[in-house]
Amino acid sequence: MNNEFPKIKSTTVLAVLHNGKVAIGADGQATMGNTVAKSNVKKIRKLQDGKIVVGFAGSTADAFTLLDRFEEKLNTHGGNMKRAAIELAKDWRTDRYLSKLEAMIITVSKEELLIISGNGDVLEPDNQIASIGSGSMYAQSAAIALKRHASHLTAEEIVKESLTIAADICIYTNHNFVIENL
C-alpha cells in the first residue's frame, strides 16, 4: 500500500475547532461514476451519546463498516477517541478484509479532531481544521483563511462557508449540508 491517502472523489467533509467550539459538516451528494445518484445523503453520525461526531467520505458501505468498528473500539476503550482511532487504524491496515475498504473518517470531540485513514494514519491536523474528500482542499483552504481573518465567525459559520466554497468548485460536492456542533 502506498503512503498517500486514497483519492476519494465523492464528497467533502470538514471539521473546525474554533474559539472552544467544534463543528463538523458534509455535503449530501453521492455519485456513481460521473452520475449523481443521490443528493441528500447524511455523512455525519453521532456516537457515544453525541460526545463524538464522525464524518466519512468514500464508499458508503465501507464507511459504515468502519464506523461500526470505530464504535466498538470506543466502547472497548471507555470512549477514549484517540485510543479507539489508533486501534481502528491498526486493524484497518492489517486486517485482510478491512484493508480493502475505501473510505476515510474524521472524528471529533469537544477537545480534538482526528483524521483516520486505511494506511494506518491517525492525524491531528494543523490549524484545528480537518478535511477529507474530493473537495477537501477547497474547504480546508477556505477554513484556514476564515479562521485567520474572520475570527468573529463561529466554528459552524466557518464550516458552512467553507463547504459552500467547496461545493461551488468541486463537481462531487453539493450544497445540501449537514452540520453538527459540539
Q: Is the pLDDT reported for residue 99 higher than 90? A: no
CA distance linking residue 167 with residue 169, whole number of Å: 5
- Each residue's pLDDT tens digit, 59-85: 888 889 999 999 999 999 999 999 999
Establish whether 76 is a catalytic residue.
no
Residue pair 79/48 in contact by the 8 Å Cβ criterion: yes
- What is the arithmetic mean of pLDDT over 24-50? 91
Q: Is the pLDDT reported for residue 156 higher than 60? A: yes
Report yes or no on whether pTM surpasses 0.75.
yes
Q: Does domain 12-176 have CATH number 3.60.20.10?
A: yes
- What is the arithmetic mean of pLDDT over 18-30? 95
Q: Given pLDDT bands bounded at 50, 70 and 90, which one contains residue 36?
A: confident
Residue 153 is predicted with a pLDDT of 97
Residue ranges per domain, the chain?
A: 12-176
Q: Given pLDDT bands bounded at 50, 70 and 90, which one contains residue 9?
A: low
Residue 2 is predicted with a pLDDT of 43
Residue with cell 474554533: 18
Residue pair 173/31 in contact by the 8 Å Cβ criterion: no
Which of 138, 142, 108 is CA-nearest to residue 125?
A: 108
What residues have CB less than 8 Å from 148, skipping those under 6 apart? none
What residues have CB less than 8 Å from 32, skipping those under 6 apart? none
